[in-house]
Amino acid sequence: MTILLAPMEGLLDFVLRDILTRVGGIDRCVSEFIRITDQLLPERVFTRIVPELLNGGRTLAGVPVRAQLLGSDPVCLAENAGRLAGLGPAGIDLNFGCPAAVVNRHGGGAALLDEPETIAAIVRAVRRAVPAHMPVSAKMRLGFNDDARALDCALAIAESGADELVVHARTKAQAYRPPAYWDRIADIRAVVRIPVVANGEIWTVDDARRCRQASGCHMLMLGRGAVTDPGLALAIKADMAGASLTPLPQLSPGISWAALLPLLGAFWQVVCSRLDSRSRAGRLKQWLNFLRRRFPEAEAAYQLLKPINDPALVGEWLAVTLRAQRAPPPEIAMSQLAPLLIAA
């Protein structure tokens, strides 16, 4: 069982990659996309989006990170892949799945799923441009408006030199609406000769079981499910192994709110050290918004912090909560923070 952490623009960036890989269970990450248009990017652009390149291509927890490129020009993508390869990522990934309209209007991401020939040209060019030992992978959806060309696109990727294929089991038109069509991944596995990773709508251990059964994949990629439940990768592995996996003493499959709180503190430290002050409160609230699907305590925290944009107040709330050690009822943290909120 191999579990990958998905790339998600605007959400799963280096900050969350750092924190989620500290929990354990994640074997590899893929960065959010680096958009390639018509120029050779300077190295600082790659390291800004994927700062793990400055740490041997790994998160601080030691989990390898593949850097993802998005674009539609095979020559320009190949030139940038060559420069990126020199920075030592754990591999290079190609994005054929982004559903964002602004990306698709310029012929990138999922828009290429109507052009398997262009996909093949991109994969071939990038494969030739990077060292033979460096993996080149790709991520695709089942199609743009429908899945009629899903097998064509998968074959274009596999037969043009990619080492691995991640399939998000929905079309661009289906966006992120459930369900994910995991059985179509099985159809793709039947025609390609490279490893296939199943992705889409894996929120729980039971989802992971059903995805494996329907797709036949032994490799899974988690996105929003891992953001919502940081212990999900561990829980899936423990379920598959029939044993408890505890890489950190305070964590166990099915992570508790008390165990999660120190990670929230670490997340806030990274946010405050790496992001500008205007973005800090929003980043914590963004994660709490996902966490409240899994943790009632996160719902209370989110509602409290929702109107607050001052990072000093957010930091004070977090400090008060962390000092209580065992995750006090949210109303305790609220009452202790009330004088500050009134003063503000």
Strand pairing class (136-141; 164-168): parallel
**Residue 145 confidence (pLDDT):** 96
> 3-class SS at 2?
strand
In angstroms, how far is CA 171 from the centroid of its own chain? Answer: 18
Class of domain 2-241: alpha beta
Is 153 among the catalytic positions? no
Write down the H helix ranges in 87-149: 101-104, 116-129
Catalytic residue among 29, 98, 153, 217: 98
pTM listed for this prediction: 0.90
> How much of the chain is helix, strand and coil, in % rounded to 5?
50, 15, 35
How far apart (Å, rounded) are the C-alpha atoms in residues 147 and 300?
A: 41
The answer to whether 120 and 155 are in contact (CB under 8 A) is no
Q: What is the pLDDT of residue 323?
A: 86
- Tens place of pLDDT per residue across the chain (344 aa): 899 999 998 899 999 999 999 999 999 999 999 999 999 999 999 999 999 999 999 999 999 999 999 999 999 999 999 999 999 999 999 999 998 888 888 889 999 999 999 999 999 999 999 999 999 999 999 999 999 999 999 999 999 999 999 999 999 999 999 999 999 999 999 999 999 999 999 999 999 999 999 999 999 999 999 999 999 999 999 998 875 444 444 444 567 888 899 999 999 999 999 999 999 999 999 999 999 999 999 999 999 999 999 999 999 999 999 987 554 444 433 344 333 333 33
- CA–CA gap between residue 326 and residue 226 (Å, rounded): 23
Tell me 42's DSSP state: P
Query: Residues of CATH 3.20.20.70 domain(s) within the chain?
Result: 2-241
Phi, psi of 244 (to 5 degrees): -90, 130
> Distances from the Cα of 197 to the Cαs of 166, 185, 277, in angstroms?
4, 9, 37
Burial string for 319-331 (b: 16+ CB within 10 Å, else e) reads: ebbeeeeebbebe
Contact between 170 and 200 under an 8 Å Cβ cutoff? The reply is yes
Phi, psi of 232 (to 5 degrees): -65, -45
